[in-house]
Amino acid sequence: MKLDSNNHSVFLMYYHLVLVVKYRRKVMDDPISDYAKDKFISLSEKYNITLVEWNHDIDHVHILFKAQPNSELSKFINAYKSSSSRLIKKDFPHVRKKLWKEMFWSRSFCLLTTGGSSIEVVKTYIENQGIK
């Protein structure tokens, strides 16, 4: 496995992020997922984060990404959730009707270190642990 590097270190830091739609509303479809993914990619560049894999279900997304040691993950996640929520509700009127004054994403999120495992490996592990 190839390590990432910067001026003073080498590293390999993979994370699995799960974001859930507020109230688990069943509004996530391919166009909304693709839109949210594009917003993730554009914002992640500012935080030294690289998208590796993106999957969605009807009420949540699974995101596998790489980060550098200086990446501020909680700031990035909160900035992403805030901006993507506003833009999704602006550009998809049917979502705005279901989540009128609410944020698109739930306040909480799940962030796991993965050591480079694929989303499928992480999903299998989570399912075997009874975590949903």
What are 54-71's pLDDT values in tens digits? 999 999 999 999 999 999
Residue 131 has pLDDT above 60, yes or no: no
Return the CATH class of domain 4-128. Answer: alpha beta
What are 6-43's pLDDT values in tens digits? 888 888 899 999 999 998 989 999 999 999 999 999 99
Q: Are 54 and 62 a contacting pair, CB within 8 Å?
A: yes
Q: What is the pTM of this model?
A: 0.83
Residue 85 has pLDDT above 60, yes or no: yes
pLDDT of 101: 75
Does residue 3 or residue 86 have the better pLDDT? 86
- Residues with Cβ within 8 Å of residue 79, at least 6 apart in sequence: 43
